[in-house]
Amino acid sequence: MPTSFAWRTDARFAGTKHRMNEFIIEFESADDRFPSGSRVTFSVCNRVKVLFGVAGGGRGGISMKSIVPLVLVMLGFAVIAAGVQVSAASSNASLSPTYDITTLAGKVASIRGTQGLYLRTSALIEQEADKLDVGASPPYSPDAITPRYVLSSPLDGTSVSLPDVVVNQDSNAASQNEPAIAVDPSNPNRIVVAMNDYVSRTWSCAIAGTPCSALGDGYSGTYFSNDGGLTWCCTPTDPAHLGTMIPGVERLTGGIYDAGGDPSLAFDSAGHVFYAGLGFDRTTPPNTVAVNKGTFDSEGALSWGAPTFINPTTAPSTLNDKEWIGVDSHVGSPFQDRVYVSWTRFIFSPGRGYVQSPIAFVFSKDGGATFSSPQSIVSNVLYDQGSRIVVGPDGTVYVFWDGTTRFGAFDSIWMVASTDGGVSFSSPVAVAPLIDIAPPANTVFRVNSFPAADVAPDGTLYVAWSSEVTNATSYAADPVCASASRYSKCHSSAVWSKSTDGGSTWSTPVPILPTFDASNRVAIGYPVTQRDGKTMLTAPGARRVDTFWPGVAVSPSGRVYMSAYAADVVSPWQTCDKPASPTAVGRINCVTPTVSGLTNAPGNYTHNARLDYVVADLTTGMTKTVTTHPVNSRYHFGGGFIGDYTGLAVGSDNVFHAVWTDTNHVESVTWWYGFEFVSTPVHQQDIVTAAGSF
């Protein structure tokens, strides 16, 4: 039977935004071998490689005999439409970089090298991709290291003061960051906090002569409280005594992966708590999303079951990143206690690198024992990161994320909804455009604009995110804030929006902390004398306060809390001219030599923004700074990694529980990444919490 086609052509070129140009022909067919609505896509990339594929399928499929004439016709269209682009790609092919996507470092480099793409992998993945930030290797030195200089500042605290409480209970100066928090909906005094936990990098044990701290890495730490956050349990001390660390993912916890983390938590209606995180290798492809179910016994002790792996892969073309978990804990919901997980599925092509990063989604009807097949929920919004799940009282599932379409001028916060328990989703709705934030002025840590969200008992949706905004009164996406002028004309602002119609329409974004947002930073500790003994570093000029990494939590009674970091203090920080080698040792030991005529070793001073953590009650319009001392982000990881987010939760008693990364506590380090030190006091990177109400 002859096949007739009604052709509709759409020649679309993406320029350099995502490094791939597509020519798409959609057609209607009278032959069921070519179902109506099918597409043939020719992708003309910067290596002059023409690819084609047919989407859709008929009852009998598509034969090669039928497709060849179609391909020839469409190839003619593609060549005509591509024209100059193909020629340009050919001339530049030899200049295109290639990436080793079998490693985290290669994947991260390919994403960074994608022109016009504002998204990144999670800060955890970027940190773990650092090939220099690794543990000791044989032969192991028998001599303990005595540091020459240890960087610190007299402006920082030496302990965390009440009413703030340190969650992690280790005492050897381990790094912890990126906290998540959940409160049992049936017991407001029962709280669980999770974190990226590097405590295994400080363990004093050995395995077959190898220090445990050389074998350890970033793991998935958790602690719990049964008294409203006043006290916390339990500390992992070695592979045989994991406390409440997540088991079965990383190697020293009985798992198969080098490292893990990226924590997310949620309770069900029966008091079980679920942890979602990642497992991955540094230099080989294997990676996964993992979910563990936690149970409290009659004495209130928490124990974790074995992980369920979601989308485990050994393919170098796939990286699972930045997962989130949600549970329908609403009694009477048609999907009560169903478990939902979303994550970013980064897709790579050999040599060319990054292709796209849609949000994937699964659900479990049996308490996390098994999960549905993964599905993409983003339609054509394919360049995404940082999803967040919330569940409404009627069982509707909402997923928010930061992303863009191929032709989007800016990223946006997007949302989809499911009313059938995660089986199907609505088309994506753009909440608002944003400019992905830069590191706050005078800091060096990685940042993002990922959303946080929650839903009120009446169904009102609240979502918050960070965006670079102008120093005027507008919170719209302004191109100047994506330019080289961003630090002089813009600042980062944690903003929020709400929807009262199930996410169809959204209010204009406004700042979570309007008073901070309209204020300038406070300078303290100036002036200081530089190393030459003559030059003075004086306070920098006025700059608006950067606010970022919001939290959102709504109580069962409808009380709406939000929170964020505020970089509201700037002060001097003395740098190190010569850190020790290798990198892990240089994080502690500065070996800058004494030079005649120079003073104030180990290095010159630079400006350094310090952070406070602030909670706002949208119901009353009040705010409360919950940090008792500003946080110095320069400690640990060279100041480059304090996580990707903060946490906020609220119980049935309307009491909020805020959690953040803090560095005002000093502990003594002995073992560090497989290197032994004489007992040396250093600032620890801790997870700290505060509770309250307005």
pLDDT tens for 463-495 read: 999 999 999 877 888 999 999 889 999 999 999
Candidates 122, 424, 390; CA nearest to 260 is 122
Give the number of other CB atoms < 10 A from CB of residue 593: 10
Percent pLDDT > 70 in the chain is 86
Ordered structural domains, the chain, with CATH: 5-95 (no CATH), 165-692 (2.120.10.10)
Query: pLDDT class for 86, splitting at 50, 70, 90?
Result: very low
pLDDT at residue 3, as a whole number:
32
More reliable by pLDDT, 62 or 308 = 308
The length of the chain is 694
Is 60 exceeded by the pLDDT of residue 111? yes
* Residues 450, 464: Cα–Cα separation, whole Å: 9
Mean pLDDT of 53-70: 37
Lowest mean pLDDT among 6-15, 145-154, 275-284: 6-15
pLDDT digit string, tens, across residues 213-227: 999 999 999 999 999
Lowest mean pLDDT among 61-70, 395-404, 495-504: 61-70
Residue written as token pair 């679309």: 12
More reliable by pLDDT, 32 or 108 = 108
Is 80 exceeded by the pLDDT of residue 231? yes
Query: 68: buried, middle or exposed (CB in 10 Å: 19+, 13-18, 0-12)?
Result: exposed
Average per-residue pLDDT in the chain? 88
SS3 (DSSP) at 220:
strand
How far apart, in Å, are the Cα atoms of 451 and each of 235, 304, 415? 31, 28, 10
pLDDT digit string, tens, across residues 193-202: 999 999 999 9
pLDDT at residue 91, as a whole number:
40
Is 70 exceeded by the pLDDT of residue 653? yes
pLDDT at residue 95, as a whole number:
61
Mean pLDDT of 362-387: 98
Query: pLDDT class for 399, splitting at 50, 70, 90?
Result: very high
Is 80 exceeded by the pLDDT of residue 16? no
pLDDT digit string, tens, across residues 132-179: 989 999 999 999 999 999 999 999 999 999 999 999 999 999 999 999
Query: pLDDT class for 89, splitting at 50, 70, 90?
Result: very low
pLDDT digit string, tens, across residues 286-316: 999 999 999 999 999 999 999 999 999 999 9
Is 80 exceeded by the pLDDT of residue 9? no
How far apart, in Å, are the Cα atoms of 486 and each of 123, 217, 439, 479, 547? 22, 36, 11, 9, 15
* Residues 312, 309: Cα–Cα separation, whole Å: 6
On the CB side of 544, CA atoms within 13 Å amount to 23
pLDDT digit string, tens, across residues 614-625: 999 999 999 999
Q: What is the DSSP string of 523-566?
A: E-S--EE-TTSS-EEPPPPP-BPEEEEEEEEE-TT--EEEEEEE
* Cβ–Cβ under 8 Å, residues 211 and 201: no
Structure tokens at 365: 């009807």
pLDDT at residue 49, as a whole number:
31
Candidates 478, 467, 395; CA nearest to 431 is 467
pLDDT at residue 294, as a whole number:
98
More reliable by pLDDT, 154 or 85 = 154
Lowest mean pLDDT among 202-211, 326-335, 586-595: 586-595
Mean pLDDT of 53-81: 39
